[in-house]
Structure 1
């Protein structure tokens, strides 16, 4: 299992080059890793999930995470 590191939205934006709106749209469509709740108003993503998503995009693959409500 990879080291568990949680990254926040600002870090995800820097890692992917995507805007907050695009990340949220892709997440709702089910084509971006789901976030985890860190607190009442805080969310984050597992860094390894973002890295895997980026690697898949670079190789032309599309990962599916299921739609979120």
Structure 2
């Protein structure tokens, strides 16, 4: 994946539009493990990595069920941590 696209950020309105969901559904999905937690951008600003949202769309389009989507979200979260650990070395 191209590094310049890997770290593009979607803010909440873009995520809502891309996923075609409401704010309440967004928060429900985060709480249910169906969407990765947002990235903290500042005191009152959050966003999501564009490539993670696109990855979820592909998984949803492939017909994965809720448990399988949770696994994808877990992999995304683990990949974030692995990338951070790699940078720290």
Alpha-carbon distance between aligned partners in 2 of 1:49 and 1:59, rounded to the nearest angstrom: 15
Alignment: residue pair count: 66
Give 1:34 shift: 1.6
Q: Which ranges of 4 or more aligned residues in structure 1 deviate by more than 4 Å? A: none
Report what 2:14 is aligned to.
Answer: 11
- Where structure 1 has 5 or more consecutive residues not aligned to the other structure, the ranges are none
Give 1:46 shift: 0.2
Larger Rg: 2
Report what 2:57 is aligned to.
Answer: 54
Report what 2:83 is aligned to.
Answer: none
| TM-score, with structure 1 as normaliser | 0.86
Name the structure where helix makes up a greater proportion of residues. 2
| TM-score, with structure 2 as normaliser | 0.68
Residues 1:30 and 2:33 aligned together: yes
Alpha-carbon distance between aligned partners in 1 of 2:51 and 2:36, rounded to the nearest angstrom: 10
- Where structure 2 has 5 or more consecutive residues not aligned to the other structure, the ranges are 75-89
